[in-house]
Structure 1
Amino acid sequence: MLNKLLLTAIFSIAATSLQGDLAEAYFDVSAGYRRDKLSADIHSFDTQNTQISRDQISVKDLDLFQIGGKGFAASCDWFVRGEAFWGWSDNGKYKAASKVRKHLFSKSTAHLNHGKTKDFSLGVGYFLSLCAPFEIGPVAGWSYQSQEFNVKKAHFLNLDEGYDPNSRAHFEYNNHWKGPWLGADAKFNLLGFDLRAGYSYHWANWNAKWSMKNRSEERFTSQDSRKSSNAHGQVAYLDFFWGFCPFIDFGVGLKWQQWQVKKGKKKSVETPETQVARNQIQNAKWESFTVSLDFGISF
């Protein structure tokens, strides 16, 4: 409910601030390369609140192709900016390690399949003109990010029983982060070149779901969902544009994101039943870096 109210307020402020004549606007189509990595550290406790196991999960070298668009409109000193991006990947490395009562119990490795990402953001800000070509100002908004991927034919190594070549499983994972953010944007224009930059700090609600099938492809043998309202993120971007002809821009963009969850909780359903009474995510992270080529119109 709070997220809906915040998003409605941002749309209302954006519409109000742009009621006058547009002083500047642009829309760019973007395509580029993105690399992500994710990790989670999950502790499990019994009914006596004693830690009995620890699972460390990591996804590295997740290469994605990303496309999307960026938009900006300004009236007087007020401005609105937004972006939407979609990414796809079939390349990445998955690793997991389980410890039972502080002793390493099993490992699993696999390659990722069919990874997907989504990024949406909308913000409203006000520029302060410090000098003729340079402007900077506060900006606030709302964003949504999600990551999904499949892991096929994961191999398990049980350190007590040895490696089983038939121990394969299929995992499906998705998580999303959504919430408000606050930051600062700046722009610099000189001789037909535009430099746009910004930084924002995010407060997010985080939700994740994880499902696993056994090697016989039966119904999900394990399912769990995780959530936390104690998630935070940082996003920084730098765009360089050249207006090589009237109303047409060409540029290069860089973007970095880092998100982190602390003290989240996990509810699980597993077969066969275990003695786990409570699971807690001590630390979950997601980080990405994007390089893009942008082409658009400005007026």
Structure 2
Amino acid sequence: MSNPQNIIFRNVQVIDGNEDEAFAADVLVRDGEIAAVERGGGLPETDDRCIDGQGRTLMSGLCDAHTHLSWNSGDLDSIAGLEVEEHVLVCAESARILLDSGYTMAIGAAAAKMRLDVATRDAINAGMIPGPRYLAAVREICSPAGMLVPGISTQVSGVEEMRMAVRDGLRLGADIIKIIQSGESITQRAWAKDDYLTDDEVAVAVEEAHRLGRRVATHARSTESCLKAARNGVDIFYHMSYADEACIDLIAERKDEIFVAPGLHWLYASLYEAGDFGFPQEAAEGGGVQARTRRWHRGP
């Protein structure tokens, strides 16, 4: 008797992430995992479901390393005003779109309300809604001066407030704790080259999350923010626009532990599509977006 979770893909071109080019193969998926890749084809005939790829490309699912399921509008200031019932539906739709687009894994990079990500993740895991495997976040944690988006952030001042905010997020079921170390100049209220959290605040966030086996992600654009994150054991680095050679060397020492997600499309969309997302074009051009885009093209 065939297992409905077993699938044989025949006549496909495989991209496995290791080879320079795709190669012809048959692929067996058993119990939801890749069990065999037969170069050139020729896997034995079975009663399992068989899909003829007709020469099309087959690859592992993608991972979106910087996901905001609940950030349903480019006009960031409007996100907080959406009622929770509608916001849950937005998250479910975002999860479906991700999966339909080939993303079978995603990492939450902050939710607009504390439990939106957690509830969506749990619904995906329970088979209630379609979506990728998901690491859920809660609201991002920032200092009062470093707040990027009013109404969807948790503000803290000092080590003990940071500790309590992290513990509260973990209590609610977060897989990821997101902290805001730098600003986002296009917002015209917190600046990309500035640094808004202390070493001790970053360190305690990492300490509390790691104690329970969770990860810490950071919005870090400024040089000092990137250095603090690297020194204090942050796991996931977003942006790193102004990271210098010393910071990059420090991160390279932990290259097997750290994930870096530059978020390049944010720069592109800010520079060329700012008006579509509720920002005046002059704010994008005056907020250092052009300089950061050029920097990522040529390196530090």
Alignment TM-score, normalising by the size of structure 2: 0.21
Whose strand proportion is higher, 1 or 2?
1
Whose helix proportion is higher, 1 or 2?
2
Whichever of the two has the greater Rg, that structure is 1
**Larger RCO: 1 or 2 (CA < 8 Å, sep 6+):** 1
